[in-house]
Amino acid sequence: VAVGCVAGYVIVHMYFDTLELIKLIMGQESGGTKKTLVAVVDNGSIRPDATLALRCICTKLAERMGDTDVVGVSARHANRVDAAKLGGCKALVLSSPGEIAEMIQGGSYNHVTILPLFLGPSSTVTGFIPSQVKEIVRQTNGKIPSYNRLTFSMAPPLVPLCPYLQKLWAEPTSKKRSRGSQSEIEEIHYDDRIARTLCEGVQNLIKNRTLGVETCVLVCDHGSPSEGVTAVRNHVCSQLKTLLGTCVKSVKPCSMECRPESKYDFNKPLLEDALLEIPEGNPVIVALLFLLPGKHAGENGDIASIINTAKDKRTSLEVYVTDVLGLHDNIIDLLSDRVHQAMKI
């Protein structure tokens, strides 16, 4: 594994005795081999630990995939971080499409697979990323031969609730015959790797802190103006509740924040309110539905501040918090799967 810089940006390269570049069919104009770049795109943060964690994810993904170059890209914000705090390589952001076009040209890539490091279909995934990709294509394709035009494919977020995609990617676990019929009914196991990662974090805290069945769990996401993102939060919460079973008292969803207008109340309850509603004497685990550290889920971030505020109001609160999800092997597995699944959509 080698970590290098193209046009000043961190790229993770994998080298083997024989290099066979991934061939992606989508958008391919000629019969030649595509030199592919995988771009893992997060929302971005003004804190360096988020960008450094994103780069660590890219290194792990490159190791998992073998012969593909992987780069971490933020939608916004990360370019405000001093490069000296990022190992001398400044963050790459979609909000500066010219810099990305330069990086792609410097690496001689002609296909880019976008991997959104997002749990659900936020406006950044459904609107901002596609619009910036169009601008990158516009800036790049005017500078390279027409037979080698740059093409893109884009994977869905980590928890797609689209029924078609769920069925396409589901794993058949068993078949059974329905009563009175010769037809076989296939039982489908839908992907629960995000919930299983949360479950592992919760169970580790229960074990290490010697917590009992009176423990309450709050699944906390950022909060979003998109109901589709909140639906993902509720879906993962339901999966986690099933996985934990009777070893905890309750498993409920909440959000860190939401906009003040009543039309966004689908995010509620907010974390602080949910903490204050925990029964007296019951410990609570905040299961973070966040992928990277940063201003919100990082050390002394917004989540920690909200918890401290709730403790000030009720000093008897006993609160524990799981780690962010991004560096867990399950997330690397998901991202690896999405690279290949992006070709099937």
pLDDT at site 221: 98
DSSP code of 251? E
- pLDDT at residue 57, as a whole number: 97
Please check the confidence at residue 105 and state whether its pLDDT lies above 90. Answer: no
Residue 142, classed as helix, strand or coil, is coil
Residue 76 pLDDT > 70, yes or no? yes
Please tell me the distance from the alpha carbon of residue 233 to that of residue 218, in angstroms, as a whole number. 11
Least confidently predicted of 203-207, 237-241, 300-304, 337-341 = 337-341
What does the block give as tokens for 258? 């939401």
User: What is the pLDDT at residue 183?
Assistant: 44
For residue 151, what pLDDT band results from cuts at 50, 70 and 90?
confident
Average pLDDT value for residue range 98-113 = 89
> Any idea what the Cα angle at residue 194 is, between residues 93 and 173, rounded to 5°?
130
The predicted model gives 280-305 an average pLDDT of: 96
Let me know: does 27 contact 154? Beta carbons within 8 Å. no
Looking at residue 167, its pLDDT comes to 63
Contacts of 266 (CB under 8 A, 6+ apart): 227, 230
The mean of the pLDDT values for the chain is 84
Q: How many residues can be counted in the chain? A: 345
Whole-number percent of the chain with pLDDT over 70: 79
How far are the Cα atoms of 88, 273, 297, 301, 339 from residue 307, in angstroms, in the given order? 35, 10, 12, 10, 37
What pLDDT, on the 0 to 100 scale, is given for residue 304?
97
pLDDT score of 16 more than 50: no
> Residue 130's pLDDT is what?
94
Q: CA distances (Å), 60 to each of 31, 56, 184, in order?
A: 31, 6, 40
Give the per-residue pLDDT at 168. Answer: 60
Residue 308 neighbours by CB distance under 10 Å: 12
- Better-scored residue on pLDDT, 222 or 146: 222
Which pLDDT tens digit goes with each residue over 118-136?
999 999 999 999 999 999 9
Give the number of other CB atoms < 10 A from CB of residue 22. Answer: 20
Average pLDDT over residues 54-64: 96
Q: Which of the pair, 340 or 172, is modelled with greater confidence?
A: 340
Q: Is 51 left (phi over 0), alpha (psi -120 to 50) or beta?
A: alpha
